[in-house]
Copies of this chain bind each other. A is one copy, B any other.
């Protein structure tokens, strides 16, 4: 296991400290380093809070800043932040309008975010959006079981409220592929291992194995399979507009992501869905996994306008 780290115990803390020092213009530590929050809060705005295990950087801390999150909590690797951390984020960022918590659909995250709401709900106005865009751990079509993965980013960027988030969540699908398993530093356990000519289709971002191990193939064949599954699980009405997001899982270089995007875009557009917005890069990782995920989000004109709204964070910045 070759990783740039000193000890498994201090890995997350040192990485987050590096992040905060590199992006002092956007973020500061909350008290006792229990959360990362925006340097400048906007009084009267609903605070957006997210978080989850470490190992997915730049998610979530990379999206703290103007136009996206007000705070993010980082747990141990692949482990939810504690209710105490989430409450600290609430107390740090609630300027009177309450907080919306953006939570990925995992038992540990749900439990701890719900517990924080229960414990702080008498003093703060709180609500929660659960993101479940990932197709593959569930049977296709059963929305309740889907994990939240790269689509989380789209919901957060739209910096909007529960209703908007929940509506959007029904129109986002993601699916991933990995060319290798990853080793979790603290346990030194490998999540799964693949031969030199194998790939794993439908992986999660915590190294959950996918639904099929297949022989490695040309990019267009892999991407075609992902896009076909996604397109088959999402109802695109005529006139639908889409955001296409190709996300690197940690060990995949930009050149390969752009090549994959090129194939995905062709595939989706050939099915009559115009791509109005795009995102290509390493935004939601699974440690150093070599692999990628494809996310398709069907957006209304209002949602596209929200996506275009200015953001200034460590990991995303526009216009």
Contacts and interface: CB of A to CB of B under 8 A. Distances in A.
A114 interface: no
Interface string A33-64: 00000000000000000000011011000100
A15 B290 contact: no
A319 interface: yes
A11 B250 CA distance: 21
Given A2-B196, A4-B223, A22-B265, 18 more contacts: A2-B216, A3-B256, A5-B218, A5-B219, A6-B220, A14-B259, A14-B262, A14-B263, A15-B262, A19-B258, A58-B254, A62-B254, A250-B254, A251-B252, A251-B288, A253-B285, A254-B285, A282-B282
Contact of A282 (B17, B253, B280): B253
Interface size class of A (residues with CB under 8 A): 35 or more
Contact of A18 (B11, B251, B261): B261
Given A218-B5, A219-B6, A285 B255 contact: yes
A278 B223 CA distance: 35
Given A18-B259, A317-B317, A251 B254 contact: no
Interface in A185-240: 196-197, 199, 216, 218-220, 222-223
Contacts of A197: 2
Interface of A: 2-7, 11-12, 14-19, 21-23, 54-55, 57-58, 62, 179-180, 196-197, 199, 216, 218-220, 222-223, 250-263, 265, 278-280, 282, 285, 287-288, 290, 292, 312, 317-319
Contacts of A250: 253-254
Contact of A255 (B15, B218, B292, B312): B15
Interface of A, helix, strand, loop or mixed by DSSP: mixed
10 contacts: A2-B197, A4-B252, A6-B259, A15-B255, A15-B256, A18-B257, A18-B260, A19-B258, A288-B290, A317-B318
A57 B259 CA distance: 12
A254 B57 contact: yes
A253 to B, nearest CB: 4
Copies of this protein in the assembly total 2
A181 B251 CA distance: 14
Nearest to A179: B2
B6 A261 contact: no
Contacts of A62: 254
B21 A259 contact: no
Contacts of A254: 57-58, 62, 250, 282, 285
A197 B1 CA distance: 8
A67 to B, nearest CB: 13
A225 B318 CA distance: 37
